[in-house]
Amino acid sequence: MKTTDLESQIASISQTRLDRRKFFRQAGYFGLGAAASGLALTATPAGAQANTYQISDTTVEILTAFLIAEDLASTFYYNGLVGAVIQDMNLAGPGGSATHVSSQGNAGNVDYLRAALYQEVEHANLFRGLLTGQPNITTTDPHQTFYFPAGTFDTLSNFLGVLDSLENAFIGAYINVIQEFSFKAAQSAAGKLTGPDTKYSAKTYEYFAKFASAIMGVECEHRVLGRVIGNENPANNVTTENLSGVQSIYNGPSSAVVALTPFLTSTTGPGYSFQTMERNARTVYLGTTAVPITS
């Protein structure tokens, strides 16, 4: 596939409007059947800093959406580290690999991607732990195959184009979810939450907001380091991060679910196994410091 064709496909992904129910077709074990119907809301409370779609997002929907997004990210980075793109001169170089960078390669750039893979795996473990209490049991995650435009892992320009698209969507989603969890904390404290969200206290929602902000910072690093690898100057090219059109997490036409669903759809391109990544990630990732997120 020509680079221009891939870039066009990447650009169209954020505009695709697919049935959000498909996103969670396999997520019944998280109890989404009832949650997906949404809450019976008539209007945004006076003074609330959240839109109608954000208010409709349940906590289980939110956490599940981020688990799937982090599984997607892990699969993406793993296949970049083992695909043909790794032999680009800006990565491991001709004849090189993720763990054996050639003399013509750039070990620092490779380590950026190795660390990113580790971080996305750990992010997924955190969300899985919140949902199921079993952070390391991955075989029941809602999606086990992710789809990328043909050629994504063949050349550096293709790979970095998808990286930028994904990380911007993730950043937009985390910015929104911090707002959503903050709103839920305020509503919980005021005794105004209804439905399944009453399971969590205001203090817990405050923790969730802090938890999300800690992860968002790392996703911002991934976006910038992708630009470093591509020799884009300045790599830190924004004064404030871009929402990328994301206005909610699950509900609504501009949700994170809509932005990411194409990567769960076979018409997008070749499929890549999440479990293949899960079995082999340790052979290529690079561990980084984990700072406990306390309430």
Is 44 among the domain residues?
Answer: no
Is 39 among the domain residues?
Answer: no
Express as a percent the part of the chain with pLDDT over 90. Answer: 81
Is 19 among the domain residues?
Answer: yes
Q: Taking residues 131-146, report their average pLDDT.
A: 97
How many domains does one find in the chain?
1
Query: Does residue 154 have a pLDDT over 80?
Result: yes
pLDDT reported for residue 30? 43
pLDDT reported for residue 8? 56
Where does the pLDDT of residue 15 fall: very low under 50, low under 70, confident under 90, or very high at 90 and above? very low
DSSP 271: E
Residue 107: Cβ-neighbour burial (10 angstroms; 0-12, 13-18, 19+) = middle
Q: Taking residues 105-126, report their average pLDDT.
A: 98
Is 42 among the domain residues?
Answer: no
Written as one letter, the residue type at 199 is K
Tens-digit pLDDT profile for residues 225-248: 999 999 999 999 999 999 999 999
Query: Does residue 115 have a pLDDT over 80?
Result: yes
Q: Taking residues 184-199, report their average pLDDT.
A: 96
Q: Taking residues 74-103, report their average pLDDT.
A: 98
Tens-digit pLDDT profile for residues 205-214: 999 999 999 9
H or E element, residue 106: none
Q: Residue 209 belongs to what domain range?
A: 8-31+59-283
Is 199 among the domain residues?
Answer: yes
Q: Which residue stretches of the chain are H helix?
A: 3-13, 20-23, 32-35, 52-56, 59-82, 107-132, 156-189, 202-229, 256-260, 274-280
Tens-digit pLDDT profile for residues 18-45: 444 555 554 443 433 333 333 223 333 4
Is 50 among the domain residues?
Answer: no
Place of tokens 């790979």: 159
Is 49 among the domain residues?
Answer: no
Is 124 among the domain residues?
Answer: yes
